[in-house]
Copies of this chain bind each other. A is one copy, B any other.
């Protein structure tokens, strides 16, 4: 993409009232815009990052047999009343609205009920199982507090996968597979090292659910980490009894604030029983389908990345989720430089690199450098009169101070290293 054509601009000032670091940096760099507290628009650069994260999640979900669908946000009360979750005290973040005829509707905060209901049309025999379905779909949650930037919003795209199995054993096996898929997601998005598989409350479904918690000061959770075992315990279930059960030595634990970037749940037969989703087994006996749910959200991951990967100059995107891999700055004013910049933009793009070319005229070099740091692409290439006279280009990684001078003829090779 050519920066001269990008309509967004970076901003030196931080909007008043914005307290979260991720929102500040993303607003400044022109990735997002704040519509209201807890509702952010994604501008071109931000949307590219969202789509890259989404693609990673999708690849991992497809790899474990997930089939993609898309359910509706609008919900009628009936199916939710059967599980008693229409009640505003049970789900306390409903946005409710009304049809013209006065009938009450809700905006889905999650989709266990409508999906379980839908699957009744397709599941009747053991031959129809297992089934793993997921979506990237907009959830609405009427949050009272919404001060964490894009980490917790009132409207966000969630990836929610639901598993439908014959037996608890089959669910357990898939749950482990999905756990690995989640680890891959966090590894690929660049937050794997700081993200821990965490024992958390299982609610009314089971003893524990599991969260993926990323160590971060901006987090709303507190976890106790056992680095040796590579697991953590959410404060909400932390007790001597649980420590004993998990064979964890209290003295080895490290306490930290963290962001919940994923949550996986063995739902068992709670929803299938309430909504009568059952199958006939090989003996012709009817059984309730055994379910699980697996959630994460691209924007939550994006916000977490920004909270973790930044310095006083701006964002430092991990490679696989960066809006562009290379930010190519032309800071010369000559026609020759401009021609050369375009040539290298074409060559790098053809070689498979995502490139943002800062071809803006009448923008000072200092401003281009500052913008580049703020936007945070992994590599910055600078074409100046000096480098051109050396038939070379300046190469700098966003996360390093070192500057290399690379001959133009060696550039593609260098970038592929």
Q: Confirm or deny: A67 has a beta carbon within 8 angstroms of a beta carbon on chain B.
A: yes
Q: Is the CB of A35 within 8 A of B71?
A: yes
Q: Is the CB of B95 within 8 A of A8?
A: no
Q: What residues of B have a CB within 8 angstroms of the CB of A42 in the complex?
A: 69-70
Q: Is the CB of B97 within 8 A of A69?
A: no
Q: Give A31 Cβ to nearest chain B Cβ, in Å.
A: 10
Q: Is the CB of B144 within 8 A of A100?
A: yes
Q: Give A124 Cβ to nearest chain B Cβ, in Å.
A: 10
Q: Is the CB of A8 within 8 A of B154?
A: no
The answer to whether A7 and B67 touch (CB under 8 A), given A95-B97, A96-B97, A97-B95, is yes
Q: Is the CB of B107 within 8 A of A154?
A: no
The answer to whether A107 and B118 touch (CB under 8 A), given A44-B68, A74-B140, A128-B7, is no
Q: What residues of B have a CB within 8 angstroms of the CB of A386 in the complex?
A: none
Q: Give A166 Cβ to nearest chain B Cβ, in Å.
A: 14
Q: What residues of B have a CB within 8 angstroms of the CB of A47 in the complex?
A: 68-70
Q: Is the CB of A73 within 8 A of B138?
A: yes
Q: What residues of B have a CB within 8 angstroms of the CB of A76 in the complex?
A: 35-36
Closest chain B residue, CB of each to CB of A114? B35
Most chain B Cβ neighbours within 10 Å, of A74, A123, A138: A74
Flag A56-90 by CB within 8 Å of B: 1 or 0 each. 00000000010111111111100000000000000
Q: Confirm or deny: A408 has a beta carbon within 8 angstroms of a beta carbon on chain B.
A: no
Q: What residues of B have a CB within 8 angstroms of the CB of A154 in the complex?
A: 74
Flag A116-139 by CB within 8 Å of B: 1 or 0 each. 001101110000100101000010
Pick from B11, B118, B128, B144: contact of A33, CB under 8 Å: B118
Q: What residues of B have a CB within 8 angstroms of the CB of A36 in the complex?
A: 72, 74, 76
Q: Is the CB of B41 within 8 A of A71?
A: yes
> What is the bound-complex CA distance between A99 and B121, given in angstroms?
36
Q: Confirm or deny: A40 has a beta carbon within 8 angstroms of a beta carbon on chain B.
A: yes
Q: Confirm or deny: A5 has a beta carbon within 8 angstroms of a beta carbon on chain B.
A: yes
> What is the bound-complex CA distance between A107 and B95, given in angstroms?
11
Q: Confirm or deny: A370 has a beta carbon within 8 angstroms of a beta carbon on chain B.
A: no
Given contact pairs A41-B118, A74-B140, enumerate 5 new A-B contacts (beta carbons under 8 Å): A41-B69, A42-B69, A44-B69, A47-B69, A74-B154
User: Which 4 pairs, one residue from A and one from B, show the smallest C-beta to C-beta distance?
Assistant: A7-B131, A39-B72, A35-B72, A42-B70
